[in-house]
Amino acid sequence: MATRIVSFGFKYGRPLLSKEEERRVVDVRTVFQKNPYRIKALRNLRGTDEAVARDIEKTPGFAASFERLAATAQATPGTLYLGCTGGHHRSVYLAERIGKLLGIPVQHRDINRR
At 38-50, the pLDDT tens digits run 999 999 999 999 9
Three-state SS letters, the chain: CEEEEEEEEHHHCCCCCCHHHHCCEEECCCCCCCCHHHCCCCCCCCCCCHHHHHHHCCCCCHHHHHHHHHHHHHHCCEEEEEEECCCCCHHHHHHHHHHHHHCCCEEECCCCCC
Estimate the crossing angle of helix 62-75 against helix 90-102, to 10 degrees.
Answer: 60
Range of the domain at 9: 2-108
| pLDDT tens for each residue of 54-95 | 999 999 999 999 999 999 999 999 999 999 999 999 999 999
Given this model, what pLDDT does residue 14 score?
94
- Residue 55 counted as domain residue: yes
* Confidence at 105, pLDDT banded by 50, 70, 90: very high
- Residue 113 counted as domain residue: no
- Residue 97 counted as domain residue: yes
The yes-or-no verdict on residue 114 having pLDDT over 90 is no
* Number of domain units in the chain: 1
- Residue 59 counted as domain residue: yes
- Residue 114 counted as domain residue: no
